[in-house]
Amino acid sequence: MSNAKILVVDDDPQIRRVMRMTLVAQGYAVQDARSGEDALALLRGEAFDLILLDINMPGMGGLETCRLIRAASQIPILVLTVRNAEKDKVEALDAGADDYVTKPFGTPELMARLRAALRRAPIPADGLPQRLRLGEVEIDFLSRRVREGERDCPLTPKEVDLLRCLAAHANAPVSHTKLLQTIWGPDYGNEVEYLRVFVNRLRRKIEPDPSAPRYLLTVPRVGYQLETPPKEIKKS
C-alpha cells in the first residue's frame, strides 16, 4: 500500500513538514492537521488509510482524539509520543490505537510500524468461526458485533483478529509470541502489554464478570486460552 493516504496529526509544524517529506518520498499521499479538532473535521469529509497521531497536543489531546476517531471508524491509528512508560502505552492502546512509536524514532522503525498497520488484513476465514457463542453472548465475526439480549456492541479489527486466533485454537493455550506475530506481524513478539490491553477490553465485552473470566483465560508465563463449551463454534 505504498500509495496509501495518510493523515499526520501534530501541533508542531516542523514535525508535520518532516513527516510529510519522509512519507511522500516513500510514495504515500499525505495530508496533515495541527490539532485533534482539525483532524476530526478532515475525517468527516475525506477517507484515509492510516492516521499518525501525536499524543501531546494542546486543546483536544491525542488520547481524546484517538477515542473519538475509534468510536466512528476502524482506520488504523499509529500513536507518536515522547512518553515511554508502560502506563502511557496502555492508555494509548486502550484509547483505540493500533500501535505505538516513541519519539525520537528512526525512519526505518516508523516505516516498519506503518507498513505493519497498513497490512492489517483480517486473519483468513477459511475453517475459522464466523460466529461464536459463549453462554448468553454471541460473537458475530462478520459484522464485528457482540450481542447479549438487547446489548449490542462493536468489536475493533484487532479484537476480532485476537478472538479468531484464539478460537482457531480453542481450549488450548496460545503463546504471547504467536498471538502478537499473527495479529500485528512478524516483527512483533515482545509487546505483551498490547495483548493485556486487548484482552482486558474483550473481557469487558464477552465475560459475565470480567474480573473472574470464564472464557478468555490467562495462561501464566505462556499466553491466553479461549475456553469454549462443546459445539459453540459455528464454522463458515
155: exposed, middle or buried (Cβ count in 10 Å: 0-12, 13-18, 19+)? buried
> According to the model, what pLDDT value does residue 210 have?
95
**Main-chain dihedrals φ then ψ at residue 30, nearest 5 degrees:** -130, 135
For 175-198, b where at least 16 C-beta lie within 10 A, e where not — what string?
ebeebbebbbbeebeebeebbbbb
Q: Which three cell numbers stand for residue 91?
A: 492508555
Euclidean distance between CA atoms 19 and 32, whole angstroms: 9
Look at residue 229 and tell me whether its pLDDT is greater than 80.
Answer: no
Look at residue 137 and tell me whether its pLDDT is greater than 60.
Answer: yes
Look at residue 143 and tell me whether its pLDDT is greater than 90.
Answer: no
Question: Please, which pLDDT band fits residue 123 given cuts at 50, 70 and 90?
Answer: low
Domains of the chain and CATH, by start:
5-118 (3.40.50.2300), 129-235 (1.10.10.10)
Euclidean distance between CA atoms 107 and 22, whole angstroms: 8
Look at residue 43 and tell me whether its pLDDT is greater than 90.
Answer: yes
Euclidean distance between CA atoms 55 and 66, whole angstroms: 9
Q: Give residue-wise pLDDT tens across range 82-120.
A: 877 778 888 889 898 999 898 888 889 899 999 888 876
Q: Give residue-wise pLDDT tens across range 52-67.
A: 999 988 889 999 999 9
Cα–Cα separations (whole angstroms), residue 117 to 45, 46, 151, 171, 186: 22, 19, 30, 29, 12
Give the residue among 81, 110, 108 at the shortest CA–CA distance from 93: 81
> According to the model, what pLDDT value does residue 125 have?
53
Look at residue 176 and tell me whether its pLDDT is greater than 70.
Answer: yes
Q: What 3-state DSSP class applies to 45?
A: helix
> According to the model, what pLDDT value does residue 127 have?
58
Q: How far is CA 136 from the centre of its chain?
A: 26
